[in-house]
Structure 1
């Protein structure tokens, strides 16, 4: 039995390839199989598009940290509520 995969993959395999591709972990063969699958599968195209958008948003999110005083106050409030 050959370990070589065909060019057509299931939606589950395509989703895995899509995820790996987002993180630059997919091989050239996996990328080719994914792109062939995306030509024929509208659901996976939508998944891939949404996955790309989510990855982009997470890379460009702006976060703020609480100040030490805010953390202390929040901790005190939680401890007070838990003891009541």
Structure 2
């Protein structure tokens, strides 16, 4: 059973991405949680992924430049600062 939960970082990142959109299965979430208990890099990736997903979900259409569909420079800097805080 121990080998069942051992996954590589690449798989952990894929599961993390799926989990952000509620597409990961219960077993995948268990594997991911087990992996990030021991892998600091994937734990950081997971935290950063949550921040970016949350920022994207909270972004209102008025906050986006309609011509380029990009965040304003000040919003980009806020995201960078938040990511640095958890690093």
- TM normalised by structure 1 equals 0.69
Q: How does 1:2-81 map to 2 (within 5 A)?
A: 6-64=4-62
Moved more, 18-27 or 5-14: 5-14
CA distance in 1, matches of 2:59, 2:20: 17
Runs of 4+ aligned structure 1 residues displaced above 2 Å come to 62-66
CA distance in 2, matches of 1:22, 1:63: 21
Shift of 1:6: 1.3
Query: How many positions carry a matched residue from both structures?
Result: 63
Greater Rg over alpha carbons, structure: 1
Unaligned runs of 5+ in 1: 72-84
Task: Please tell me the root mean square deviation across aligned C-alpha atoms, in Å.
Answer: 2.0
Which protein has the bigger strand share?
2
Unaligned runs of 5+ in 2: 68-87
Which protein has the bigger helix share?
2
Q: Secondary structure at the match of 2:17?
A: helix
